[in-house]
Amino acid sequence: MTPAALLLQDAAVMAQAVRSGAVSAVALAQASLDRIAATDGRVNAFTEVVRERALRRAGQVDASLASAHGVRTRELPLLGVPFAVKDLFDIAGLPTLAGSKIERDRMPARSDATLVRRLESAGAVLVGALNMDEYAYGFTTENSHVGATHNPHDLDRIAGGSSGGSGAAVAAGQVALALGSDTNGSIRVPASLNGVFGLKPTFGRLPRTGSYPFVSSLDHLGPFARSVRDLALAYDAMQGPERLAPRDPGCAQRAVEPVANLLSRGVQGLRVGVLGGWFRQRAQPEALAAVDAVAQALGASRTVELPMVEAGRAAAFLITNSEGAALHLSDLRTRAQDFEPLSRDRFLAGALLPAAWVARAQRVRRLYAEQAARVFERFDILLAAATPCAATPIGAEWFELNGQRVQVRPNMGVLTQPISCIGLPVCAVPVWGAHASLPIGVQVIAAPWREDLVLRVAAALESAGVVQSPVATLS
């Protein structure tokens, strides 16, 4: 198999090919760089390609394989696998832009983000930084500074956001793995619209050190991939407490709890419920059809209500608005004209929120989490659509939802925001056939720290052919 053909396979297949000597890490990195060069003019997933770094790192992998330490190197799970990261992860020598114009004036990062280092320690090769909504405040990645990211399955449509470049790069076959962030749905929305797998771990599971924050009390980091096994391999490689300062104060510092070796355990005995109410009322027919297909495959017939979900989403809105505004208050005062217009207006609104509202929102969030915990006494897994519809056209400002005309930018996350508000682990799985030509995702949700369950369910669905993530043809 040629390096170009191998690039379109799963990361586990790529790593095995490098491990066996069938292909070199340099050849695989070059194939990734070549595909980016050939396709990104249409997709616009990348904001920076680190060509020299990628080839140098791949050369180090090959040299290590040929050395006396080759046996140890061959054990690395992501050996030679190309990956890229949302442009809010620090990459040594580059300014961390977070999708903005303002950050171009900042000093370059002095070191890589913790999760970048961990993936490279597992053998992966970083090839670049990816497009996003400015400061992660959006669900469409229609960035006015660098242009919109285009959905590889339909180049006239959005890739979702705010990690749109991450979802699109994986769907386009430019890389096997990508990292993104999820505050209110920014991993699950692009995973849904681009037809890839995305994992939002439990809040506090993975360290955020070396990433540009949006809302510290809500931010999660996690991977995108085209297979559940790849998602699990990347997730396992990134787990674990931080040993060195600075540390992420929101990280739980839990020991590594591997999941890749648990994927084959299946779903026998798991209690699966389908979220109703809010989650059915705010989904279009194709989104409901995707959920129903997954539920049928799992034998899930029980509908369950999540108490306080509307109040939980309202709390998330207030917390997001106020914390995000506080972070950017100085620039809002002195450089307001340099912000993305839509994010600027929302940040300004957040700066004016009464403190009492925000304090109450945090109390509501706690009460909502307690109510959700009671639901998980009766269910192991909950299902809901990841987005209310498939990808909308680039430039569209409105869509129909529950009989109402609503704005795309805030409402593409209407089904994800209530879940991240309370930090639950979720795997977004891509369903084809519910929409005439586009993928749409389903959220597989579990109680805190049970990433093993959401990935086991995702793996069972993938094995049954109910969910899949083909590389886009880019026609």
Active site residues: 86, 162, 186
Distances (CA, A) of 282 to 26, 288, 297, 315, 444: 47, 9, 23, 18, 17
What contacts 301, CB < 8 A, 6 or more positions away? 274, 295
Taking the mean position of all CA atoms in its chain, how far away is CA 388? 17
Name the one residue in this structure whose structure tokens are 């799992």: 298
